[in-house]
A and B are shown apart, each in its own frame.
Chain A
Amino acid sequence: MRKEARGKVDERTARFLKKLFASYYAKRGPKEPRDLPHREFAFMTFGEKMVIRHKGFRSYGELRDFMANLGPSDAFYSSAYFAKPDEPDMKAKGWLGADLIFDIDADHLPTSCREEHDRWACPSCGYSGRGEAPEKCPKCSSDKLLEVKWICDKCLSAAKDELIRLIEVLEGELGLRASDMIASFSGHRGYHLQVCSKAVLGLGQDERGEIVDYLLAIGLDPEALGLIPGAKLDMSEPGWRGRLARALYAILCRADEVELRSLGLRPKAVRALLASRDIMLDCLEHGRPLYLPRGFGRASLKKLLVACAEREAIKVDPVVTRDTHRLVRMSGALHGKTGLLKVDVPLDGLEGFDPLSSAVAFGKKPIKVKIAEGIPEVPAIRLGDEEYGPFEPGEFVVVPLCVAIFLMCKGVASLA
């Protein structure tokens, strides 16, 4: 079984983190959620890992005092609005509606940097490697491997690009208003988008699920969209048809035999396609009915377009968006796995937003920590303008407070 190298924060470190988080909230509370009295709140704590649910607050002051007192590792509120948010029974809570939530996690995006900064080690024999951990240790075949999953500029910016595409589709295709959207960096490895408007409030699970399927292209049937041999594929068309046409154009432009085969096309179809690539590109450029060569029929076209759809899909977490009772992390609250803040980002400021500067909550006071033993090498992390690490297992290091907190929250260091 693979385990992320975290969770085993020793008691002293846990107390230290709890105190720091509490004092942060005493100075600066979280951002006040919209319609606070109708939200359910939930918190997690350091150390014993308690989950406190079904909390309701009447005022912002009450919420802030509670957090300053508790020093929670993580703080959430419900995407839903309830008549009685503090009722433990879901039915008695009285669901009034819910914001529409999207979650984009760098972990779910195909980024190459994972091979660089995600590591694993086998505690039994000490063997280690990079990227995703294998099922079993290649050396001693133990299945108890420890993983260190990291973040970097590359994967965070991939997540940000995905968020920008999401906003474009929601606004341009589905007609949701940008003024109803709140975008935020989650404080760890992703971005959230929250749509708060009367129009989406009453959407049920199935309706939200249809939005998810639209974004992820689940169930997309090119033929239902009228994309059959001889159809016109117009790259300037709005919606999925235009996006498919553009993706097809891109695939045709640079595809080679290997790539086309990997899409599940038969060798004969691949050869036919490559031979008449220019004619097909020409059709797409001029919006003429798509020419299909002999040997590349209806079934092949469908396969190819489904592959285009998968590439164009916007990789939101389907479970989060479908859920009408989701707990979402509070903006302006600290993330228990990083000590970074969840911060809202104005939509027009997304391009230039740097999460690893803007989300840093703690200062640069130097502090000594011990890197855990028996874990893989700890990759470097950039916070603000400086990069820290990599760190060797077992070493003692003096780092700025914000870095120390990051390492301790990640579960790879303890208070020295």
Chain B
Amino acid sequence: MRRAGTAGLTKLDLAKYPFLRAASAYVAEMHLDIKDLTSPSLSGVLDRAIKRVSEAIRAGEVSTSIVDEDLEVLSYPVAIALVAAVGNDYLEKRYALAEAKRAEHFLLAEPADKLLAIARELGWHLRRIEVLDGGILYEFSVSVLDYLRNASGLKGPKWKLVNRLVRSGEVLLTSQELARLLTEEIRRRIEASLEKATKGARELPEALRPYVEKVRELLKELRLGEGPSLEAVGEVRFEAFPPCMKAIYEALSERRHVPHAGRFAFTAFLIHIGMSVDDIVELFRRVADFSEKITRYQVEHIAGERGSKTRYTPPSCRTMRSYGLCVGADELCEKVNHPLSYYRRKLWALRRARKEARGEEGGEGESGREDS
């Protein structure tokens, strides 16, 4: 067996974490040509690569059994090439997440020293510590910036920087938490390498084309783009507004001051739930004394009809909170992290309730007929 990478990483480690630089170095040393993949001796690699992708599509997680270490290491870059060749953003995100989940499974079982080696390989600034606080053992201390890069997308109060033990530019972590954050780093890295692979889109060898088609077929199983889109919803129902948007609406209609960020959030929200620019301008005119010209300009800007042509998305719950626009969560708020998700779910719930109400009445009538 040849030298397998750096800093105490074994070949098994590379099989577990084939996205590490040490793993690509190992693959490079084998001097394989991508054209050889279709040769019978390497068909196992291609099979495993396709399996990686299909597992990602079907189960959302790449399987964790390791039968042959080389197969695991070698099949990863092939899977990346296949996914990149399909050129579908959604697939890229889903695949990156599925690979990251596979890695998390292994990370959660690693001893502290191994986690340290992997994190350092990923370029993190962290060190081992041993701090017992409130019955929790913190074994790592990571730089605030490495922390933020990976924790700022995670849900739950415990990941907020303000709720962490922060000391001189470092955040204390348990080994479980480190594993979770490394998973985030890995997901982003895989997304980045997919993006790079897509941009660099080298011509895929003819022999691999059918496999790309196969992935495209698999992807169809996911029925992308068939869900109901908010734009198609048409009607706008105030009862389904999240508390934050209701509060802004009420403040506007009582002519209380609403900060710019609040008006922006509200406008972007209305645009996304399918209200037209004209209707929004009309609404603003009714509830507040804004100049129509300025209001129209701003609404059109947010709708992406002017200026940068970017259609702005309303801020997430996290952002609403940090702007001080979150008025306190109700039960449904606990389950979502975006005002639009709140609206969508509430709308479904309202519809279902209405349908049920109607369904029950109808049902009784029908059963009556059956009886007769």
- A322, B144: Cβ atoms closer than 8 Å: no
Check: B39 CB closer than 8 A to any chain A CB.
no
- B319, A322: Cβ atoms closer than 8 Å: yes
| CB-CB under 8 A for A225 and B163, given A207-B148, A211-B148 | yes
State A219–B160 Cα separation when bound (angstroms): 8
Name the interface residues of A212-263: CB closer than 8 Å to any CB of B: 212-214, 216-221, 224-226, 228, 231, 238-241
State A220–B163 Cα separation when bound (angstroms): 6
| CB-CB under 8 A for A203 and B145, given A209-B152, A226-B134, A319-B323 | yes
Interface size class of B (residues with CB under 8 A): 35 or more
Check: B334 CB closer than 8 A to any chain A CB.
no
Check: A204 CB closer than 8 A to any chain B CB.
yes
State A216–B324 Cα separation when bound (angstroms): 10
- B163, A221: Cβ atoms closer than 8 Å: yes
- A209, B168: Cβ atoms closer than 8 Å: no
State A199–B147 Cα separation when bound (angstroms): 12
Residues in chain A near residue B349, CB distance under 8 A: none
Check: B261 CB closer than 8 A to any chain A CB.
yes
Contact with A along B133-146 (1 / 0, CB 8 A): 11010000001110
Check: B282 CB closer than 8 A to any chain A CB.
no
Check: B308 CB closer than 8 A to any chain A CB.
yes
Distance (whole angstroms) from the CB of B189 to the closest CB of chain A: 14
State A398–B143 Cα separation when bound (angstroms): 58
State A204–B152 Cα separation when bound (angstroms): 9
Check: B279 CB closer than 8 A to any chain A CB.
no
Q: How many contacts A-B (CB < 8 Å)?
A: 108
| CB-CB under 8 A for A213 and B322, given A1-B289, A176-B169, A219-B160 | yes
Which of A67-75, A86-94, A371-379 interfaces with chain B?
A86-94
Check: B1 CB closer than 8 A to any chain A CB.
no
Closest B residue to A230 using CB positions: B134
- B167, A238: Cβ atoms closer than 8 Å: yes
- B163, A211: Cβ atoms closer than 8 Å: no
- A206, B168: Cβ atoms closer than 8 Å: no
- B310, A240: Cβ atoms closer than 8 Å: no
Which listed residue, B158, B162, B166, B167, touches A213 by the CB 8 Å rule? B162
Distance (whole angstroms) from the CB of B298 to the closest CB of chain A: 13
Check: B165 CB closer than 8 A to any chain A CB.
yes
- A199, B145: Cβ atoms closer than 8 Å: yes
Check: A282 CB closer than 8 A to any chain B CB.
no
Distance (whole angstroms) from the CB of B83 to the closest CB of chain A: 24
Residues in chain B near residue A220, CB distance under 8 A: 160, 162-163
Residues in chain B near residue A204, CB distance under 8 A: 152
State A228–B133 Cα separation when bound (angstroms): 12
Which listed residue, B134, B157, B170, touches A221 by the CB 8 Å rule? B157
Residues in chain A near residue B153, CB distance under 8 A: 206
Check: B355 CB closer than 8 A to any chain A CB.
no
Check: B214 CB closer than 8 A to any chain A CB.
no
Check: A116 CB closer than 8 A to any chain B CB.
no
Which of A7-15, A167-175, A183-191, A381-389 interfaces with chain B?
A167-175
| CB-CB under 8 A for A210 and B168, given A220-B162, A221-B163, A224-B163 | no
- B160, A210: Cβ atoms closer than 8 Å: yes
7 smallest CB-CB distances across A and B, nearest first, come from A175-B169, A226-B134, A224-B163, A90-B308, A206-B152, A207-B148, A239-B166
